[in-house]
Structure 1
Amino acid sequence: MFRSISKYLLMWLLCLCVPSAFAAQATMNIVNDWGQGFQGEVVVVNDGSTAISGWSVEFDMAVDINNLWNGVIVSHVGDHYVVEDAGYNESIQPGGQVSFGFTAIPGNASPVPVIVNGDGGSSSSSSSSSSSSSSSSSSSSSSSSSSSSSSSSSSSSGGRFPNYNINPLPADMTGMSSSALDIADNITLGFNIGNSLEATGGETAWGNPVITAEFVGLVKQSGFNAIRLPVSWNQYADQATAEIDLSWLARVRDVVQYCVDNDLYVIVNIHWDGGWLENNVTPERQAENNDKQRAYWQQIATYLRDFDEHLMFASANEPNVDSAEQMSVLLSYHQTFVDAVRETGGKNAYRVLVVQGPNTDITRTNELMTEMPVDTVSNRMMAEIHYYTPWQFAGMTEDASWGNQFFYWGAGNHSTTDTAHNPTWGEENDLNALFSLMKTQFIDNGIPVVLGEFSAMRRTGQLSGDDLALHLESRAYYHRFVTQQARAYGMLPFYWDNGGTGNFASGIFDRPANTVFDQQTLDALMQGASN
């Protein structure tokens, strides 16, 4: 339970760094404290006669801030925090005020010495033992959170972790007018920045450089207009509290910003992430995983809430489901995702959400995914499947007793000399039959389908000469045909790029050099998207 400490309201002066021509002050209130953590609020007041455009505050506090809204932490060194405006609230008119809120650990917060080192601005400090109405000077969106966010609420917090939905906002449709169908109409061709933000051990652990604004710009310039960001969260979270490291949330936000700055749609998901969810779609793990799913999405959704409709959220990646019983569990994970995002409010009340079919396999999705999660708003949901069919062509790396690899694919691309590696199934007719299932099941019922991943790897280390040339032409045709038919059946194709440029890789770009590496594949994708 939250322990109200309104009669123990702590207020002390912060430094407000604004030009000396302005007069401003800031006070901090401890709004709620539940023992293990607390909720704080900072109110910045313009006492001058001139409007303030852009503000920042600094304070020293021996706590770990794990969530912050209506502001941006731009520096945290030791106990010293610097918080700046969030852009939309940079202006403070004379006599006006803005506020930001945060949660931090540990709880039982006490006043700390205040360092005032701004260029100017008036200052005052006070303490208060008044009732909860003493914090009414905060913005309505922040003050409302103290009454609506209670860690004891089972509907919001789950049984294992704190409730991270501590600042739900009123629904805000600004920049969110497009339905899922509208956005689907706008997406031509998507690109996965794979093996980066989801990499175990850190963003560069799987050999790719950090994602830069320049790289995202290259993706846009090359003809893509949407990006899927596979993201790992579990390795950056405290397993006892499910609290995600603030610096990681900030890093993901930066990459999302690169995308939005380039007018790209962007999907942020919880990827494989060590398999905590997708390898455990079972009744035994259902309650535990729903608690974690809720905690993670409350934090992700809150931290990224201010982006407009260009940002979409995706519940999972490739959840392993083989039965109706498991499908029921998966549906509960998706429902938790939808509920957690929606309850944070603001733009998230209307954000398009993407839910994955079992294994993101078309056949299993058609057989088992007979319903979608319940939503509080209409026409704001998409389904997701992946396509690596036939696997012998897309990803198999050695012949097996049950069958050989396929080096070639499609009409006119079979080898007359290496017939053992010609495909025996999974070509154009099979693809059309599978894509048709998704059209009938979802698209014809007004639910767009994201083809979230597809690609066939290069076999430059296996083949040479004419065989390699035919293989590469087969790859190009495969990528062109998948893209073309996905669009023909109403799906949104996202190419899987793992950043690699060697054997068994699928990278289109040389990411370290920030140049196009595989022009043949890029051209094929663009041709498919234009048909």
Structure 2
Amino acid sequence: MGSTAVQLASKINMGWNIGNTLEAIGGETAWGNPKVTNDLIKAVKQAGFNAIRIPCSWNQYSDKATAKIQDAWLNRVKEVVQYCVNNDVYVILNIHWDGGWLENNCTADKKDSVNDKQKAFWEQIATTFRDFDQHVLFASANEPAVNNADQMDVLLSYHQTFVNAVRSTGGRNRYRVLVIQGPSTDITKTNSLMSSLPADRTTNRMMAEVHYYNPYQFCLMDADQSWGNMWYYWGQNYHSTTDATRNATSGEESDLNKLFVLMKKQFTDKGIPVIVGEFDAMRRSNLTGSDLQLHLDSRAYFLKYVVKQAKTNGLLPFLWDTGNGVINRMNNTVFDQKELDSLRSGAGL
């Protein structure tokens, strides 16, 4: 457990998410992915990722009266974490959306009840994973919905409860690196609203987390709206001359650069590493011919650019993958070699 957060960050090349799996409501396979195996983790490691973020649900496996998490579920998550550690892969284990009990309730009226559950869950999670070494990091939440200073104060109380609960379990958890999510994990909101991190009795063992799906119309938007169209083409050299309404008009290279520099100045320059816990851009399957090729080239460039600029500014990028992304989880092979090559190039691998 000897590494500070900065030293630990220097060991992480590039991360990957086991998305839509251990956080799936209804069970690990409920959202269409197979159970996680050691062979999957080996494939991810071989592809060049040496860190894995494990989005995880706990509430659905808990007693609603006592907040006791089922031993079977704690043991299953522990098994998956062990796969990662056995393969020399760093792990970020969180409480994900989990039905929204924390994320949707950063409000004064819910503050006490949410803190009670946050404390109960993290005492159990931290105790279960206490003997793992510094390969395992804990993350307080996922994308807590916060839009103003009052909500930010409530969120900080949830993060403080997380820190206190983990540290109270002792052992290696006294020194474990902990990851604190910004408001909505949005860079602009984090820069303006999160002026401080929770207090910690152990120094230099904290990271911040943001996510990056900007611009939304290129990364996530799946249907045209009255206020704007989906964008298929991103990057100054990847605009279409025949389909101009689908070209990004904001959120391109210069905007990304400015946002990542904000995180560098706010955190990394002060010795607090930043996790970009999720980033991705939709692969548009409705295109054909030269339009499809331009889109795929543009998407590959976007992914490479995000990773490269993240690394340049001391941020640690973790690709969001829901099972149909860079890795085919049905047979543990590379699904999209172009995507993987772009990511590896951005990371200098």
TM-score (structure 1 length as normaliser): 0.65
1:231 to 56, 60, 82: 56
Who is 2:290 aligned against?
Answer: 466
2:347 is the alignment partner of 1:523: no
Shift of 1:513: 1.3
Shift of 1:407: 0.3
Shift of 1:253: 0.3
1:269 to 81, 89, 94: 94
2:309 is the alignment partner of 1:491: no
Give the distance between the partners of 1:307 and 1:199, measured in 2 at CA: 24
Who is 1:363 aligned against?
Answer: 188
Higher relative contact order (CA 8 A, sep 6+): 2
Aligned residues: percent identity? 63
Who is 1:513 aligned against?
Answer: 331
SS in 1 for 2:320: strand
Within 5 A, what are the aligned runs for 1:251-330? 251-330=76-155
Give the distance between the partners of 1:474 and 1:419, measured in 2 at CA: 14
Query: Would you say how many aligned residue pairs link Structure 1 and Structure 2?
Result: 349
Give the distance between the partners of 2:333 and 2:273, measured in 1 at CA: 32
Note the alpha carbon deviations across 1:118-175, whole angstroms, 9 max, x for none. xxxxxxxxxxxxxxxxxxxxxxxxxxxxxxxxxxxxxxxxxxxxxxxxxxxxxxxxxx
Shift of 1:457: 1.1
Give the distance between the partners of 2:291 and 2:184, measured in 1 at CA: 33
Shift of 1:399: 1.1
SS in 1 for 2:293: helix
2:255 is the alignment partner of 1:433: no
Within 5 A, what are the aligned runs for 1:157-172? none
Give the distance between the partners of 1:359 and 1:301, measured in 2 at CA: 24
Within 5 A, what are the aligned runs for 1:373-388? 373-388=198-213
Who is 1:186 aligned against?
Answer: 11
Give the distance between the partners of 1:265 and 1:245, measured in 2 at CA: 25
Give the distance between the partners of 2:332 and 2:175, measured in 1 at CA: 35
SS in 2 for 1:433: helix
Give the distance between the partners of 1:291 and 1:465, measured in 2 at CA: 55
Shift of 1:207: 0.2
2:304 is the alignment partner of 1:476: no
Note the alpha carbon deviations across 1:183-206, whole angstroms, 9 max, x for none. 111111000010000001000000
Task: Tell me which amino acid in the other structure corresponds to 1:311.
Answer: V
Task: Tell me which amino acid in the other structure corresponds to 2:54.
Answer: L
Give the distance between the partners of 2:282 and 2:132, measured in 1 at CA: 34
SS in 1 for 2:16: strand
Shift of 1:403: 1.0
1:450 to 275, 278, 282: 275
For structure 1, the residue ranges without an aligned partner over 5 or more in a row are: 1-175, 501-506
Give the distance between the partners of 1:397 and 1:303, measured in 2 at CA: 39
Task: Tell me which amino acid in the other structure corresponds to 2:304.
Answer: R
Runs of 4+ in 1 over 3 A off after TM superposition: none
Give the distance between the partners of 2:205 and 2:219, measured in 1 at CA: 32
Q: Which structure is higher in helix share?
A: 2
Shift of 1:398: 1.2
Give the distance between the partners of 2:212 and 2:37, measured in 1 at CA: 28
Task: Tell me which amino acid in the other structure corresponds to 2:306.
Answer: V
Who is 1:41 aligned against?
Answer: none
Within 5 A, what are the aligned runs for 1:96-175? none
Q: Which structure is higher in strand share?
A: 1
The structure having more radius of gyration, on CA atoms, is 1
Task: Tell me which amino acid in the other structure corresponds to 2:37.
Answer: T
